[in-house]
Amino acid sequence: MNILTKLRQDQPPLQAPKWIVFGVGLAVLTYLAYSPLISAPYINFERSMVMIYLVVGLGLNLLTGYTGQISLGHGAFFALGAYLAAITTGKLGWHYAIAFPLVAVMSWFLGYFVGRPALRLQGLQLALVTLALALVTPSIIKRFDTFTKGQEGLNLNTAHPPTWIGLERDQWTYYLCLLFVVIALLLTHRLATGRVGRSLMAIRDNEPVAATLGVRAATVKTQIFALSTAFAGVAGVLYAYVVQFVAPDAFGLTLAIAFITLIVVGGLGSTFGTIFGALFVVYVPNLTSEISESAAGLSYGVALVLFMFILPFGIISFVRLGLTPLVARLPKLTSDKNN
């Protein structure tokens, strides 16, 4: 079997021994925690954006990876979070921390409300409805221009670090993003390995059969949808705090496609793949903008098509293919051998 065929197959997750996982995770976390202190603001900005996309991607992965449904409309929830953050800290003058739980809850409920009927649709239909939502989001934002100031956009001047910490704002928002990435990862991991995760797999693989086994598919799927929109909303808040400016056109089709590219490139359904996806989505436009303004769109598009042909399971399948033989040689602790 040549390498192309292998890449087109779903690779099983790396069965890395626990000490490696902890070790690598700790090293990465330490690096991430320390690096903003020594990096220039624009680097912190880029990495913050990666983390913001990562949060969205984790949510979308829950949805697409476990229910097989694609949503192109999460940009609307992202926009909701961003604008709520802008309005509460701006016009209303509230503390910036309030936006997080507020948006999380609002997005969750709105997502549940939308998701309940939406998930009864079949794959293509849901994609169409959510695409329509993505196309219309900027004009919805402009419609409410009394709050959103329409095309003009809203400026933020918030998320200042507490004075006793002695950090710059770009560093502080970076840490906020890091905090929520960790929360998101923990949530995702708990879900994936718990009872809900197993229900989700059952639903994805064969919904009618899962139903006969007592899995309340509709409820579980809607909860997952709601959770994914909550992730998107919170990511939107982070976005507003990092960029300090929101405007309607940033939340339309381009954003929706960035989200999809994220999870496709990373690997649908893979948590770690999403990290690669987020890196791709942030850094590729940066790199390609040297070449040409439209190069970002071109690279997204080519990536989407190429990945579907060569790496339908995302970069993570490539990584797994490469690392699996290596990982197999690592010494295991006795606790792992029982896995």
Q: Which residues bind other proteins (CB under 8 A)?
A: 64, 68, 70, 117, 120-125, 127-129, 131-133, 135-136, 139-140, 142-143, 208, 253, 257, 260, 264, 268, 292-298, 300-305, 308-309, 312
Q: Which is nearer to other proteins, 156 or 250 (CB)?
A: 250
Q: Which is nearer to other proteins, 174 or 300 (CB)?
A: 300
The pair of three-digit structure tokens given for residue 232, joined into one six-digit string: 């998107």
Q: What CA–CA distances, in Å, run from 241 to 83, 93, 142? A: 11, 14, 21
Q: Which is nearer to other proteins, 146 or 338 (CB)?
A: 146
Q: Which is nearer to other proteins, 19 or 147 (CB)?
A: 147
Give the residue among 69, 122, 45, 5 at the shortest CA–CA distance from 263: 69
- The sign of the dihedral angle between the CA atoms of 210, 109, 79, 57 is negative
Give the residue among 83, 245, 79, 241 at the shortest CA–CA distance from 172: 241
Q: Measured from the CB of residue 246, what is the shortest distance to other proteins in angstroms?
A: 17
Q: Measured from the CB of residue 303, what is the shortest distance to other proteins in angstroms?
A: 7
Q: What CA–CA distances, in Å, run from 279 to 42, 54, 273? A: 15, 8, 10
Please check whether residue 270 is in contact with residue 227, taking contact to mean a CB–CB distance below 8 angstroms: no
Q: Which is nearer to other proteins, 132 or 179 (CB)?
A: 132
Q: Measured from the CB of residue 71, what is the shortest distance to other proteins in angstroms?
A: 11
d(CA 127, CA 1): 34
Q: Which is nearer to other proteins, 36 or 75 (CB)?
A: 75
Q: Measured from the CB of residue 247, what is the shortest distance to other proteins in angstroms?
A: 14
Q: Measured from the CB of residue 207, what is the shortest distance to other proteins in angstroms?
A: 9
Q: What angle do CA 242, 244, 249 make, to 5 degrees?
A: 100
Q: Measured from the CB of residue 158, what is the shortest distance to other proteins in angstroms?
A: 28
d(CA 221, CA 204): 10
Q: Which is nearer to other proteins, 51 or 255 (CB)?
A: 255
Cβ contacts of 219 within 8 Å, gap of 6 or more: none
Q: Measured from the CB of residue 13, what is the shortest distance to other proteins in angstroms?
A: 21
